[in-house]
Amino acid sequence: MKKMNLKIKDEITLLDKINAINGIVESCFMDGEYTPYYLEKSLVEYITIFCMEGFELEAGDDLYEITMSDPEFKELIMKFFRSDDNNKYIEVQEFILKNVTSIVDYKRQRMIYGTDTREAFMKDMMDVAEAIVDISKNISYAAKPVIGNPEYGKHMLSIMKKLDKNKVISKDTLVDMVMDIAKKTGAFNKPKDMEEKPNLHIVKDETKEEKGTENK
């Protein structure tokens, strides 16, 4: 480690904060795994890297160990964690940590609940919906391509297997989704030619007219 007038940056920019946030978030997901135990270490390291200046790392240096053991480094880094008369550094640390927590939680939810699988499922469902959109007749005609075409059958079976395997969605939710797609795409709407009123005409009761003439 080489130190040359070590100090906190005169101006810590938004870009500095974003770079620190991204570095810390990446440390919480190493090799595709959730690794939150690196959070404290990486918080200190990335604040040092992006919020301080006047030092140069050398091969084999452990920045966290240096920062916490070197008196000059430690005095500066602790300004981001201990309140004093000037809390602007505390605010920088809180901003970084708040955003790290939010992003890490978002990425963790995607890992646990398989949001990517849900997005793929929705794309598959929209492929089926497009077939329904192309049908301008009633619901029986809209369902015919899906029921009668073996390729559609295979496609839907593939979707259902994915759902069963990943436990992405329940049967009731699936039914509600299909019904919602059908409604939004107009599958339940009557064809225009069915909406036209029939050409009706009034048929007179000739029997009553004849009786009326005889009474006269």
> CB count, 10 Å around CB of 28?
20
Residue 87 has pLDDT above 60, yes or no: yes
The answer to whether 64 and 45 have CB atoms below 8 angstroms apart is: yes
When the pLDDT of each residue in the chain is averaged and rounded to a whole number, the result is 75
Q: How many helices and strands in the chain, by DSSP H and E?
A: 11, 2
Cα-Cα end-to-end distance for the chain:
126
Rounded Cα distance, 46 and 68, in Å: 13
pTM of the model: 0.55
Count Cβ atoms within 10 A of the Cβ of residue 7 and give its class: 0-12 exposed, 13-18 middle, 19 or more buried: exposed
Domain chopping of the chain, boundaries:
2-113, 115-195
The mean per-residue pLDDT over the stretch 134-140 comes to 45
